[in-house]
Amino acid sequence: MLILIAAGAYALIAAPAGPIDVDAGESFGFSSALPALVTLVLVFFTGNVVVSLFLGIASAGFVIRDPNLIDRFLLPSIGSESFALILVVYLWALGGLIGIWTRTGGAQHFATWAGGKIVRGPRTARLFAWLVGIIFHQGGTISTILAGTTVRPVTDREKVSHEELTYIVDSTASPIATVIPLNAWPLYVAGLVAGTTPLFVTEQEAVTFFFRSIVFNFYGVFAVTMTLLFALDLLPVIGGRMRAARERARTTGQLNRPGSAPIAAEELSRLRIPEGYRTGLADFALPLVVLILTALTGVVGPLVDAIAAGDLELFLGGIDVPIAEAFGLAILSAIALALIKGMPLSEVIDGFVDGCKGVTIGALVLALAVTLGDISGILGTANFIVDTTQSFFSPVFLPATLLAICMGVAFSIGSSWGTYAVIFPIAMPLAYAIQPDPTYVSLCFGAVLGGAVFGDQCSPISDTTILTSLASGADVMDHVLTQIPLATAAAALSAIASTAIALVVV
C-alpha cells in the first residue's frame, strides 16, 4: 500500500491538473512506467498476483487523474473481441474439456498408457513434456495450454513438481516458436520491419530475413536447449528454489509448495467417473486429435497453394488457424464420445460446468493482466523505456543492449508481440545505420526476437505465464521465481554470444 501511495503522490505532482485525454502511445515520462512498476514490485513482495494487478491498474488512475478505472480501462479491455476469444476458448473451453476428462477418466488413462510406453520415471516424464512442447510449436497460449494439459497427468504420476513442469512448458512455447517459426510469427514481424532498411523493402524480403536470422536468435536456441538439459538432469545448476521443488516432489509427493496458491482448482483434477463407464485412450486422444487437425486446416490449405504456386509469401500470408472452431469441435467430440459410450448427459454437462468453475481465478487474473497491458500501451510504457535507454547504444554492444531492452520492456508489459511492435521499427534502421552489413543486422534482429521472448516468458503479468500455470496446476509466482534463474542464464549466454560475434563483424 505504501508503494501505491508513493506512486500516486508522484503522479499527482508530475501530471497536469484535471482528467487527461490520452492518445495511445503518448509518453508521460516516468509516470508511464508507474502501473507496470507498481504491479511488478508488489507481486514480488506480496506474491499476490490479483491484488498486485489491481493496484497497478489503480495507480494508472493517478497518472491520468481519473478515478473511474472501470469505464476508462477495465470495460474496454475485457469487452474487446480478443479477450472474449481468450475467455471463451482458452479458459472456458479448456476448463470444460478438462472437466469432461474428470468424468471420462481420459487424461488419467493416457497417463497410464504413456507411463507404460514412454515414461520410465521423472526424467523421461520431463523429456516427454519437452517433446510435447516442441511438437506444439505454434507459440504462446496455444502451446502452453495443449502441452500443459497433455503432459500434466504423466508428470504428476511420476512426482515431477509443478514448478518443473511449468518451466518446461513455458520454455518450449514462445522460444520454440521463434526457432521453428512455421507459424504466424514471421509474417507479423515482417509487417513491422518491411521497408525499415534496404535489406528488406518488401514483406517477402522481411520474411526471408526472419528465417535467415534464426541462427542468431541465441536466446531461443539456448532456452530450448537448456530446457532439454534440465529435463535430462544434465544442468549442473538449476537454482535453489527449483532444486528444493524437485526434492520436495520426489521425497514427499507434494507437487506444489506448502502454502502455495495454484490457480488450477480441484474441479480440474478430481476424478468422478460414473459407475460402469469404461475409460479408453480415445476419451483423451479424440478431442486432442480433433483440435489439432482442425487447427491445421488453416495451415495445410495455404501450404498446398504456396507449393503449387512456388510462393512462400502465399503460404505465410494465408495462415488463418481456426482456433475457436478447433476448441469448439474438440469439446463436442468429447461430449459425443462420452454419450455414445453410455455416460448420462447430466454427468457430461456437470463435468463441463465443474471444469469451467475451475478456471474462474485464471479468468480473473487474465482479465486484470490484459487491462494492465492495455494501460501500458495507452501510457506509452514501452516507448518510455526505449527512449531512456537509447544513450547506451554502441556498435559492439548494440545486440546485447537490444536484448536487454527487450527483456525489460516485455517483462514490464507482459507481451513479446507488443514489444516487437515498439522495438523492431526503431532497432532495424538503427542497426543498419551503424553497420550496413546483413550479418550485423541479423544479429540485432535475433537479439530483439529473443529478448522479447524472455520478458514475455518470465513476466508474472504475461498471459502465457498465467495460462501455463493454469494448465500445469501451479502457483504463478512459484513458476516465475523458479524459472527466472534458468531463463536469465540463457539470456546471459545469449548476450555473450551476440557480443562475441559483433566484435568480429563490426
pLDDT average per 10 residues of sequence, the chain (506 residues): 50 46 58 80 72 84 77 79 72 81 82 78 93 73 74 89 95 87 73 81 82 92 96 93 95 92 68 84 88 78 75 62 80 93 91 81 74 77 68 83 90 81 79 87 95 91 85 91 96 96 89
What number of residues does the chain have? 506
Classify 51 as helix, strand or coil: helix
431, three cell numbers:
542497426
Contact 118, 169 (CB under 8 A): no
282, three cell numbers:
480415445
Amino acid 132 reads V
Give the pLDDT of residue 17: 46
163, three cell numbers:
514448478
Question: What span, in angstroms and rounded, lies between the C-alpha atoms of 405 and 455?
Answer: 10
Q: Which residue has the cell 487474465?
A: 366
Q: Which residue has the cell 508530475?
A: 14
Question: What span, in angstroms and rounded, lies between the C-alpha atoms of 505 and 435?
Answer: 9
Question: What span, in angstroms and rounded, lies between the C-alpha atoms of 69 and 378?
Answer: 13
Give the pLDDT of residue 12: 43
Dmax over CA atoms of the chain, in Å, equals 71
Classify 28 as helix, strand or coil: strand
Give the pLDDT of residue 4: 47
pTM of the model: 0.71
CA angle 339, 344, 346 (to 5 degrees): 115
Q: What percent of the chain clears pLDDT 70, i.e. is strictly above it?
A: 84
Which tens digit of pLDDT belongs to each residue from 35-73? Answer: 878 887 887 677 676 788 788 888 888 877 777 777 777
Domain boundaries, the chain: 1-67, 91-167+221-359
Contacts of 184 (CB under 8 A, 6+ apart): 316, 319, 321
